[in-house]
């Protein structure tokens, strides 16, 4: 049953990939489907929903650190940052 839900979410993500919508909205919706998928996998397949809250909390560490890294580095790409890259 979980398997079916994961396939539905995958189909949704695939549809989003081809949808002719704004890039930012697409990015946001793809993040949502991805997070939904990993939460289902972690909770059901990896049995996190049966584990103690302590263990569940430490598994969120990479996600939080990734958000921090992303929000500190990504703004650097706005504006004229193309000097950072070599264009062939």
Partner 1 sequence: MDSTVAEQQRILDSDWGGGRSPFGTSWSKFMMWIFIISDALTFAAFLITYGFMRNISPAWPKQTEVFNMVLITFMTFDLISSSAVMAMAVGAARAGNPKLAVKFLGLTILGGLIFLGCQAFEWTHFIEEGATLTHNPWGVAQFAASFFVITGFHGFHVFSGVTILAIVAIRAAMGKYSADGVENAGLYWHFVDVVWVFVFAFFYLL
Looking at 21, 25, 49, 81, which residue binds partner 1 (CB under 8 A)? 81
**CA distances from residue 13 to 1, 47, 61, 62, 76 in whole angstroms, order as listed:** 19, 24, 25, 23, 28
Do 41 and 3 form a contact (C-beta atoms < 8 A)? no
Task: Kindly state whether residue 24 participates in binding partner 1, applying the rule CB under 8 A.
Answer: no
User: What is the C-alpha radius of gyration for the chain, rounded to an integer number of angstroms?
Assistant: 17
25 touching partner 1, by CB under 8 A = no
**Interface residues toward partner 1, by CB under 8 A:** 2-3, 6-7, 10, 13-14, 16-18, 26-27, 30-31, 33-34, 37-38, 41-42, 44-47, 51-52, 54-55, 58-59, 61-63, 65-66, 69-70, 73-74, 76-78, 81-82, 84-88
């Amino acid at each position: 049953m979980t398997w079916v839900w994961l396939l539905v979410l995958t189909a949704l993500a695939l549809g989003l990939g081809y949808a002719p919508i704004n890039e930012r909205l697409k990015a946001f919706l793809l993040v949502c489907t991805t997070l939904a998928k990993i939460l289902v996998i972690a909770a059901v397949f990896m049995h996190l929903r049966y584990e103690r809250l302590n263990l569940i909390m430490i598994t969120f560490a990479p996600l939080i650190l990734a958000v921090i890294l992303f929000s500190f580095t990504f703004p650097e790409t706005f504006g004229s940052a193309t000097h950072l890259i070599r264009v062939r």
